[in-house]
Homo-oligomer: A and B are copies of this chain.
Amino acid sequence: MPRLSFWFEFASTYSYLSAMRIEASAADAGVAIDWRPFLLGPIFRAQGWETSPFNLYPAKGRYMVRDIERIAAYRGLTFRLPDPFPQNGLLAARLATVGARDGWIAPFARAVYTAEFAEGRNIADHDVLADLLATVGVPTGPAFAAAASTEIKERLRAATEEAVRLDIFGAPSFVCADRELFWGDDRLEAALACAASAPP
């Protein structure tokens, strides 16, 4: 089955839109998804941004909220901008890295995004994340222990470095056949078409 890499950051509003629909869209396209959590913070800081561009450029931030409200309404999703924005997604990204290794990343990532952007919960909070792990049937003690391990911290750091090598500068990003980059929820269909037609 052809594969597409889905690079996402938990603080990213447009990543929420993709996370909630990518498995259904991929199934329709006959493509399997590799969920790739990474951190945008180091990439933004390297280009001189200390926070989200939606905070740095207020008109763009106001537009993003309206744009996502419209799309979410059309897709039957709830959306409200979390406070504070952006959320600190480091611990969630480490847990997702454990989930990528152990096979539960997709339901966990959807649970995190729903908590953050539909329910107004703080995804930097250990207890919130414990609740989300339990909701998707993951034993919380071993998951937190793994998330704090050198192996997992190093994997997440390496993923972010790999994102830089792939020329990724925002999220969500999709990489087809290890070379063709697509940026933004509105490019998901084109990325899936690329993956479906790529030589194996």
Chain A residues within CB distance 8 Å of chain B: 47, 57, 59-60, 62-63, 66-67, 70, 167-170, 180-184, 186-187, 190
Contact = CB atoms under 8 A, between A and B. Distances in A.
A168 B167 CA distance: 28
Contacts of A182: 67
B59 A168 contact: yes
B190 A63 contact: no
Contact of A169 (B47, B63, B66, B187): B63
Nearest to A168: B59
Nearest to A187: B67
A169 B70 contact: no
- Please give the count of copies of this chain that the complex contains: 2
Given A47-B57, A169-B63, A70 B181 contact: no
A190 B70 contact: yes
B57 A169 contact: yes
B167 A63 contact: yes
Given A59-B169, A60-B170, A66-B181, 4 more contacts: A47-B57, A57-B169, A60-B169, A186-B186
Contacts of A180: 66
A170 B60 CA distance: 9
A63 B190 CA distance: 14
Contacts of A167: 59, 62-63
A38 to B, nearest CB: 14
A155 to B, nearest CB: 23
A169 B63 CA distance: 9
Nearest to A169: B59
16 contacts: A47-B57, A57-B169, A59-B167, A59-B168, A59-B169, A60-B169, A60-B170, A62-B167, A63-B167, A63-B169, A66-B180, A66-B181, A67-B187, A70-B190, A184-B186, A186-B186
